Amino acid sequence: MSVLFLTEQLINLENAKRENRERVANIVLNDENLFQDLIAITFKVDDKISIRAAWVLEWICTHHYLEWMIPHLDEFTSKIATVQFDSAIRPCAKICEHLATAYYANQENDIKKNLTIEQIDAIVEAGFDWLITPQKIAVRAYTMNTLYLFGLEKDWIHPELKHIIETKIIHESKGTKARGKYILALIEKHQKST
């Protein structure tokens, strides 16, 4: 299969319904070489096809193989801050949350072994940008979790995250307010345990 075929399938993907994302994800799952192409299309940030590619990329990372990201972590982390469309930022923020969760998992895994400090820094930087700019609830929720996790090792993150939640997030929608309070409680619990 070719990148042309993948592009055609993405163009024909009508909406983000489960069956649509799964159908195109299966094409990539059957030919792992297309995964690199999927990432490249995700970062065609001026083209709306990037939204559909991001949906499928997130589907694969969530439901199948997060570890497929390992050879592409440099590209993914260096380019996530360039994503412009709201509907593409959400899946990228969710992938960041998955990476952070895997990195802090109790059991050893390949993400833990391969995610570098530079890549984490790029995720953290994009995350703070997403929190201080207008974003959808899901982006904020995934990002607060991601930053909380990376803040377990990077001392400066929790105070910054706490400040943004208390001065900005807490005044937004009920969903972001609830997640913000939850993250504040986690930060407080972590501070007491250290």
* Residue 71 CA: distances (Å) to CA of 40, 74, 123, 129, 139: 13, 8, 16, 25, 24
The string of pLDDT tens digits covering residues 18-47 is: 888 888 999 999 999 999 999 999 999 999
The string of pLDDT tens digits covering residues 125-159 is: 999 999 999 999 999 999 999 999 999 999 999 99
pLDDT value at position 148?
A: 98
Cβ(147)–Cβ(161) below 8 Å: yes
- What pTM was computed for the model? 0.94
User: What residues does each domain of the chain span?
Assistant: 1-64, 79-194
Instruction: Say how many Å lie between the first and final Cα of the chain, rounded.
Output: 52
161 burial (CB, 10 Å; 0-12 / 13-18 / 19+) is buried
* Residue 48 CA: distances (Å) to CA of 10, 22, 111, 151, 167: 10, 19, 29, 33, 33
User: Could you tell me the pLDDT band of residue 170, with boundaries at 50, 70 and 90?
Assistant: confident
Q: List, in sequence order, the alpha helices (H) in 65-136.
A: 73-79, 86-103, 110-114, 117-132
d(CA 119, CA 139): 19
